[in-house]
Amino acid sequence: MYLSIVVPCMNEEDVIPTLVARLSAAITPWCDSSEIILVDDGSTDGTWEAIQDARLLCPDVVGVRLSANRGHQIALTAGLEAATGERIMMLDADLQDPPELLGDMMSMMDQGYDVVYGRRIERQGESLFKRATAYAFYRLLNAMSDVPIPRDTGDFRLVNRTTLDAVLAMPERARFIRGMFAWAGFRQIGIEYTRAPREVGETKYPFRAMLRFAVDAMTSFSTKPLKLATRLSFASLGITALMAVYVAYSLILYQTAPGWASVVLAISFFSGVQLLTLGIMGEYIGRLYVEAKNRPLYFVSEELRDTPSAALRKSA
Ligand code: UDP
Ligand code: MG
C-alpha cells in the first residue's frame, strides 16, 4: 500500500519536526511506502526551511512551496494535486487531528469504504466562541445546503484514488473541500475522535477568514440564499399591503397626512431588504466572475522531490 499524506502549513515552523516524527511513527505499521507532502502556503516564518530540514531526516517528505498565501483550502488542493498515492490522508499541521487514527481509517477502507472522515466529538482547548460558531455553522450549512454535509467534520480524512480524482476534476475556485468530498458521493463513513488542542502556535483562522469560509461553503453548495431573497421580498410586499391599510385608515379617521414615522420606517425597511437582496445577488455574481476568469488556483515556486509532480510541470 502506497500512502500519501497531505498537510497544508502556514507559519508552522515550530510544529513541523514533531509533525513529521508523529506522522512517520503512525504510518510505518500500515503501509510499505509513503510520501508526506508538506505544502508551504506562503509562510512568512521559517516553515520552508523547516520542511527542508525535515526532508533531510525523513526522505519521505515532499515539500511544495506556493508562491504566495492562498488560504487553507487552496493549499490543501495543491497538496492533493501533488499526491501520487493509492490512498491519501489529509490533516492539519497543528496535530489537532491525531495521525494515530490512520490504522482505524485504513481498516475501515479495507472493508470497502472510499472515504473515511473524522468526526470530532469533543474539541479541547478551543475557545467557547470558536466552538459555538463552529456548532452553528455546521447546522446552518446543513439546513441550507442541497447536499448533506457531515456535521462537525473537518478536512481530516482518508480517501482512495478514485474519490480524490473525482474531487480534483471539479474545477471550481471557491473550494470547500469537505463539501466537495460529500458531494462526490461514493461510500463514506465517519469515525469519531476527540480534537486535541493545537500543539504549538495559534490559530491561522481569524474571524474574518472563518466568515469568508462560511460564506464560500453556503454559496458553493446551495442556491437557497437566492431563494431566501425572493421570500424576503414576498414578506416585504405583505408588510407593504398592511401598511397601506393602516395609512388609508388613519387618513380617513384622523384626516391627517400620514406621519413621517411610517414613511421613514417604510423607507428604511425596504432599502434594507433591497440591500440584502442585492448583497446575496452580488455574492453569486462575484463568484461567477471569479469562476469565469478561470485563473490557475496557485503557482508552485519550489518543489522538493525526486520526480516532479504534475502540479510543478503545469506551472513550469
Ligand atoms: N493554513 C494554511 N493557510 C492559511 C491558513 C491556515 O495552509 O492561510 C493551514 C494551517 O497551517 C493548518 C490548517 O490550515 O495546518 C488549519 O489551520 P488552523 O489550525 O490555524 O485552523 P483551526 O484549527 O484553528 O480552525
Ligand atoms: Mg488547528
pLDDT tens-place string over residues 301-312: 788 887 655 555
Q: Which of 91, 94, 213 to mutate to test the pocket of ligand 1 (most atoms within 8 A of CB)?
A: 94
Return all residues near 29 (Cβ < 8 A) that are at least 6 apart: 103
| Ligand 2 geometric centre to CA of 141 (Å) | 20
Distance CA 47, CA 55 (A): 12
Dump pLDDT digits (tens) for 124-159: 777 888 888 888 888 888 887 777 878 778 899 999
CA 182 to mean position of chain CA atoms: 12
- Average model confidence (pLDDT) for the chain? 84
| Ligand 1 geometric centre to CA of 94 (Å) | 8
Residue 241 banded pLDDT, cuts 50, 70, 90: confident
In the chain, the DSSP E strands lie at 2-9, 33-40, 61-66, 87-90, 115-123, 153-160, 188-195, 300-304
Predicted local distance difference test score (pLDDT) of residue 72: 93
Is any ligand 1 atom within 6 A of the Cβ of residue 71? yes
Neighbours of 153 (CB within 10 A): 19
Question: What are the angstrom distances between the C-alpha of 299 and each of 216, 237, 302?
Answer: 22, 49, 9
Return the domain boundaries, the chain. Answer: 2-222+295-315, 224-293
Is any ligand 1 atom within 6 A of the Cβ of residue 10? yes
Dump pLDDT digits (tens) for 256-283: 666 666 776 677 677 778 877 877 887 7
pLDDT of residue 294 exceeding 80: no
CB 156 within 8 A of CB 91: yes
DSSP code for 200: S
2-222+295-315 CATH, one of 3.30.460.80, 3.90.650.10, 3.90.550.10, 3.60.21.10: 3.90.550.10
Distance CA 73, CA 178 (A): 9
User: Which ligand has an atom closest to residue 96 CA?
Assistant: 2
| Ligand 2 geometric centre to CA of 198 (Å) | 6
12-16, 27-31, 203-207, 259-263: least confident range: 259-263
Over residues 60-82, mean pLDDT: 94
Residue 240 banded pLDDT, cuts 50, 70, 90: confident
CB 225 within 8 A of CB 277: no
Over residues 111-128, mean pLDDT: 85
Is any ligand 1 atom within 6 A of the Cβ of residue 203? yes
135-149, 192-206, 211-225, 297-311: least confident range: 297-311
Model confidence, pTM: 0.77
C-alpha cell at 308: 516532479
Most confident of 188-192, 296-300, 305-309: 188-192
Neighbours of 222 (CB within 10 A): 19
